[in-house]
Amino acid sequence: MTRRRLHQKFLSCDVAEYDRRVRQARDWIVGQRLWQPQVALILGSGLGCLAESIEHATKIPYQEIPYFPTTHANGHAGNLILGYLAGLPVVAMQGRGHRYEGLSNPQVRFPIHCLHALGAQTLIATNAAGGLNARYRAGDLMVLDSHLDFLWARGQWAADIPAHRRAPPRTPPYDWELLARAHTVARRHNQVLHQGCYLATLGPTYETRSEYRVFRQWGADAVGMSTVPEVLAAQALGMRVLAFSVITNVASTDIPRSTTHAEVVESGGAAGPRLLAIIHDLLQDMAGQPD
């Protein structure tokens, strides 16, 4: 089936059909390995290296999973990883699909529904982002406490979920307890962890200097092209959500300077080990907490 036909089928299917496809994808994954993860991870641009730390891993290419959206973005390997990290059973997306690749919001959300159907109750998402806050430097880490949605995902935040299974909306969608734990772990590693607002745009072009100025005025601290649809889907499913941005480049509103995706991937890879240390210890702390 061509991508265009699959896109059209996602746009035209109803909630019951969407739910059937989620269950079909889940059953196919379980057929490869009987698995019930506690935590789902999304590894953004240049951060796929974090998957190498997953132990006893089973790797499944996205294109083999029924209805699962593939990705062709540089720095996104396109694999689902089942295994253990810090002693916890996890499922990790090594790369994600984006709206700018021609995917619809229902397609971008589809993997989150699958990971939740496998059993994951917590989502930890990561992304590469441009720094808007004047205090940020390339290589810094930021934990999200809010977002600005210019992927227009909010209006469909629970459109794929049967009404009786939707979690009540909460503001913000980010889990404050997990956020506080992330800061505690960062201090343990003597790492600076910013906290701020992420603005999601459609892409795939990077922002102009004029857009940077406006985004700063709106209160955004970082800007990227992902994460919000997945966060809103997880929220609608009742999952706990934590999200990190790796600041891969710093916006300049005065000096003309181009940003390339290769630089973003390189910066993301360089910051990967520091982010992994935080996520590893965070999962370790979660494993030690009573249910």
Active site residues: 45, 76, 98, 100-101, 128, 225-226, 249, 261
| Residue closest to 10 by CA, chosen among 91, 98, 106, 87 | 106
Q: How far apart are the first and last CA of the chain?
A: 43
In sequence order, the 6+-apart residues with CB closer than 8 A to the CB of 115 are 37, 40, 91, 93, 123
What is the C-alpha separation between 44 and 251, in angstroms, rounded? 19
The residue whose two tokens read 């982002």 is 129
What is the C-alpha separation between 182 and 202, in angstroms, rounded? 28
| Residue closest to 50 by CA, chosen among 85, 97, 11 | 85
- Rounded to the nearest 10 degrees, how much is the dihedral formed by the CA atoms of 188, 192, 198, 202? -100
What is the C-alpha separation between 73 and 285, in angstroms, rounded? 33
